[in-house]
């Protein structure tokens, strides 16, 4: 799972690459038209409008290709990495903790802890599910990277080291995630 920082950096590089490629393509069109295009402060003409249109079309195409290549959210790409996706810990809801399975009242999902360490989850099925079988992500992982996990699982645990910060449920993910 990629972090928010990695996605923002990938969005910046993809945006800059698309911009440079579009400028180079516009320069190529400028030279192919004989260098007579003017689109800017000094005035404009038909060749200048063609160069501007070539820039816009190629820039749009390059952004599309860049988004497919680096798989970043659209807002991150279009803002050149200024706006990144949410980190996973922002969507995580804390889970109630129980010391023994007998103390579980059967409402919702609870974290089973033993000697202060989490060992499993109660409430997902009719038995205790070991923590190793539940998908988990680091707290700084980008929420946009969690889509494949929610195709198979109803929740994803958010951890920082050995500490369980909470869980993101499928319904909340689809409702709140961008």
- The predicted-structure confidence for 44-56, as pLDDT tens digits, reads as follows 788 888 888 999 9
> What residues contact 21, with CB distance under 8 A and at least 6 apart?
58, 59, 62
CA–CA distance, 57 with 103 (Å, rounded to integer): 63
Per-residue pLDDT, averaged over 35-60, amounts to 81
Q: Do 68 and 40 reside in the same domain of the chain?
A: yes
41 has pLDDT over 70: no
Q: Which residues contact 168 (CB under 8 A, 6 or more apart)?
A: 88, 91, 92, 93, 143, 146, 155, 156, 158
How many CB atoms neighbour CB 82 within 10 A? 12
Domain match, 93 and 132 both:
yes
Has this prediction a pTM greater than 0.85? no
The answer for residues whose C-beta is within 8 angstroms of residue 69's C-beta and 6 or more apart is 14
139 lies in the same domain as 103: yes
On whether residue 83 sits in a domain, the answer given is no
Range of the domain at 159: 88-176
Is residue 92, in this structure, part of any structural domain at all? yes
Tell whether 125 is covered by a domain.
Answer: yes
Q: In this predicted model, what pLDDT tens digit does every residue of 78-132 receive, in sequence order? A: 999 898 888 999 988 998 888 877 666 667 888 888 888 888 888 777 678 888 8
pLDDT at position 126: 65
Q: Predicted confidence band at 161 (pLDDT cuts at 50, 70, 90)? A: confident
Residues 102 and 51 in one domain: no
pLDDT above 90 covers a percentage of the chain that reads 31
> Longest C-alpha distance within the chain, in Å?
83
Q: Answer for the pair 96, 111: CB distance below 8 angstroms, yes or no.
A: yes
Q: Are 55 and 128 found together in one domain?
A: no
């Amino acid at each position: 799972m990629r972090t928010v920082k990695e996605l923002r950096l990938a969005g910046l590089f993809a945006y800059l690459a698309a911009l440079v490629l579009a400028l180079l393509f516009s320069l190529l069109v400028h030279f192919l038209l004989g260098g007579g295009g003017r689109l800017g402060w000094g005035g404009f003409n038909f060749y200048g409008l063609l160069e501007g249109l070539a820039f816009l079309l190629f820039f749009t195409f390059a952004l599309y290709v860049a988004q497919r290549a680096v798989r970043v959210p659209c807002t991150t790409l279009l803002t050149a990495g200024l706006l990144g996706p949410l980190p996973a810990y922002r969507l995580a809801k804390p889970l109630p903790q129980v010391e023994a399975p007998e103390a579980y009242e059967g409402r919702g999902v609870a974290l089973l802890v033993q000697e202060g360490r989490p060992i499993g989850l109660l409430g997902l099925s009719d038995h205790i599910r070991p923590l190793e079988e539940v998908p988990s992500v680091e707290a700084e992982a980008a929420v946009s990277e969690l889509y494949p996990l929610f195709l198979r699982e109803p929740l994803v645990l958010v951890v920082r080291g050995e500490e369980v910060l909470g869980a993101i449920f499928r319904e909340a993910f689809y409702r709140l995630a961008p």
